[in-house]
């Protein structure tokens, strides 16, 4: 079977797909524009999509439509027209009339992890990096399940790969953090304990399925494991350059800690003061400009003091190439001097 027969989708069907995509994307887009936590927006997005699925479940004509059009299916997946399923399957969850315990556990289990783990992790990573990690977890989990069930006609859906991806990233970068989590008791637990317990349980279940010879389960354990290990492998690379550097020792994930980590990251981007572009151009500074440069080198190791002395230097010095007055550029609290005619003349430090 090459893939789903998209030519047979009715106008109503396309409308349902569009409505689902709007429910999935709109909360995240709104949160991005309003600078609201993306982790909470994803929770709202997943719940909105699940409620929409639940409503469609009560009509015979639409009951399984979103599953057939948007869920992962290893038999159909090799067709390029089905690649979207690697992402859209992460916004689908099990539904059923009356809401069985398994159905409720599927959606609530995922949103609970995404909320409790996602909020502090987003404070560590920053919004953009958090969203990137989440999407990588979705795709990695679905790829793992696809390849492990190659050619089979089975549907897979859910955000579990992404949820485990968040745990993998957190373990790779800040394993000593303690976060509220319902592990036996609802209290603060080390991220390392939460992550290793959760992924260890998944690995045990995969092994048990192999030992018992069943090989299959209604739970996509390999998707969980795949999302976890891919995000664990990429986590530190993605986190570098973010608000908080991996393995930093601080007060834990909070607004204050995130600000402290952000300041640390900005200081790393300040640039060194040892190189003297005026000396290099054989036009050494003299008089007031030379004294300001000396004070800048002595006191310019903090963001605020460096900005103050660079602003002073911009008034006392000129471009070493064309003698133009200097501009002061401030980007993310990092201050530099530049030549208004050409940044090739001067962009320092």
Q: Which of 82, 83, 68 is nearest to 3 (CA)?
A: 82
Which residues, other chains included, contact 155 with Cβ-Cβ below 8 Å and sequence gap of 6+?
67, 68, 71, 72, 73
Supply the DSSP symbol for 324: P
Distance of CA 54 to the CA centre of its chain: 28
60-118 per-position pLDDT tens digit: 889 899 999 999 999 999 999 999 999 999 999 988 755 555 678 889 989 999 999 99
Task: Give percent of the chain above pLDDT 90.
Answer: 67
* pLDDT computed for residue 334 by the predictor: 87
Per residue in 311-330, pLDDT (tens digit) is 999 999 999 999 999 999 98
| Segments in 57-159 forming alpha helices (H) | 65-70, 85-88, 101-125, 127-148
CA distance 133 to 125: 9
- 186 close to 258: Cβ distance less than 8 angstroms: no
Distance CA 341, CA 269 (A): 24
| Structural element, H or E, at residue 166 | helix 160-173
Structural domains in the chain plus CATH codes: 6-263 (1.20.1540.10), 270-348 (no CATH)
Q: Give the pLDDT of residue 258.
A: 53
According to the model, what pLDDT value does residue 104 have? 80
Place of tokens 């502090």: 120
The arithmetic mean of pLDDT across residues 293-299, rounded, is 92
CA 298 – CA 57 distance, rounded (Å): 69
* For the chain, percent of residues with pLDDT exceeding 70: 89
* CA nearest to 348, candidates 299, 295, 296, 282: 296
Round to whole Å and give the CA distance between 27 and 49.
Answer: 11
- Using pLDDT thresholds of 50, 70 and 90, give the confidence band for residue 6: confident
183 vs 25, higher pLDDT: 25
When pLDDT is averaged across residues 140-169 and rounded to a whole number, the result is: 94
User: Does residue 333 register a pLDDT over 70?
Assistant: yes
């Amino acid at each position: 079977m090459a893939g789903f027969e998209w030519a047979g989708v009715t106008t109503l069907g396309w409308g349902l797909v569009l409505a689902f995509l709007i429910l999935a994307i709109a909360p995240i887009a709104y949160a991005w524009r309003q600078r609201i936590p993306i982790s909470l927006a994803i929770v709202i997005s997943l719940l909105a999509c699940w409620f929409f699925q639940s409503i469609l479940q009560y009509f015979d004509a639409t009951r399984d439509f979103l599953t057939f059009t948007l869920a992962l299916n290893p038999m159909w997946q090799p067709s390029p027209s089905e690649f979207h399923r690697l992402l859209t399957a992460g916004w689908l969850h099990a539904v059923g009339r009356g809401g069985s315990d398994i159905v409720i556990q599927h959606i609530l289990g995922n949103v609970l992890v995404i909320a409790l783990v996602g909020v502090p992790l987003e404070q560590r990573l920053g919004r953009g990096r958090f969203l990137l990690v989440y999407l990588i977890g979705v795709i990695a989990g679905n790829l793992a399940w696809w390849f492990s069930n190659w050619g089979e006609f089975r549907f897979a859906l859910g955000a579990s790969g992404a949820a485990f991806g968040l745990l993998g990233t957190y373990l790779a970068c800040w394993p000593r953090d303690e976060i509220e989590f319902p592990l036996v008791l609802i209290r603060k637990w080390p991220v390392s304990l939460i992550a290793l317990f959760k992924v260890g349980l998944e690995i045990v279940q995969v092994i048990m399925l192999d030992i018992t010879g069943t090989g299959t389960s209604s739970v996509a354990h390999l998707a969980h494991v795949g999302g976890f290990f891919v995000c664990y492998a990429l986590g530190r690379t993605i986190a570098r350059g973010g608000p908080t550097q991996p393995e930093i020792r601080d007060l834990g994930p909070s607004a204050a800690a995130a600000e402290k980590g952000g300041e640390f990251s900005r200081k790393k981007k300040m640039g060194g003061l040892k190189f003297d572009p005026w000396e290099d151009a054989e036009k050494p500074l003299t008089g007031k400009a030379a004294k300001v440069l000396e004070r800048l080198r002595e006191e310019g190791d903090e963001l605020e003091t460096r900005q103050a002395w660079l602003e002073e230097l911009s008034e006392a010095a000129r471009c070493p190439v064309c003698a133009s007055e200097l501009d002061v550029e401030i980007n993310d609290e990092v201050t530099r001097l530049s030549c208004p005619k050409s940044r090739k003349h001067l962009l320092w430090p």
